[in-house]
Structure 1
Amino acid sequence: MDTYKKSSELGQDLILAYLKSRMKEKKVTQNKLAEILQIGVTTLYRYFKKETPMPLGVYLEICGALELRPYLIPSEKDNTEMQRMFFS
């Protein structure tokens, strides 16, 4: 069971690092992202520092704001039906 917890923590670290990288790539600050999501900057900071668990809904909103699919594929690399549904 301990292995799953470690895997989960590693997965969270990887996802958060990727989201931060994408923010830098898109030139979106935490302040701007919080504004887009209509949540407090402190709340967003706590999510990214893993002080507070990030709700799935917030994760999905962040993906949308950063033009990512929930499975972390940049939208510009995805020409599927999802591209038309979510970003048209």
Structure 2
Amino acid sequence: MTLSFPNNARSYDETKRRVRFTGYDGMFEVKFFVAADVLSKNLVARTSGERDYLDAFDRMRVKILDVAQRAYNSKRQSTVLLDLSNFR
């Protein structure tokens, strides 16, 4: 099967400073997390909040999904954390 992202939902986890979104490999759910560092390029970390990170995610969605696809294909795991190293 191929990985798909039929649902645009995403949420911000302030405790772990990351945005969560979901993909599907056939009928299997794959949880993805994007570290806030990836999203904070034009944000001030002290004052950035949920809305800022979710907006940044939306602006980067195409790139994030491409990176998520590549990361998942290299290691087919049910949970994938995307950090700055994935975006180089």
**Fold conserved between structures, TM > 0.5:** no
TM-score, length of structure 1 as denominator length: 0.29
Greater fraction strand = 2
Structure with higher Rg: it is 1
TM-score, length of structure 2 as denominator length: 0.29
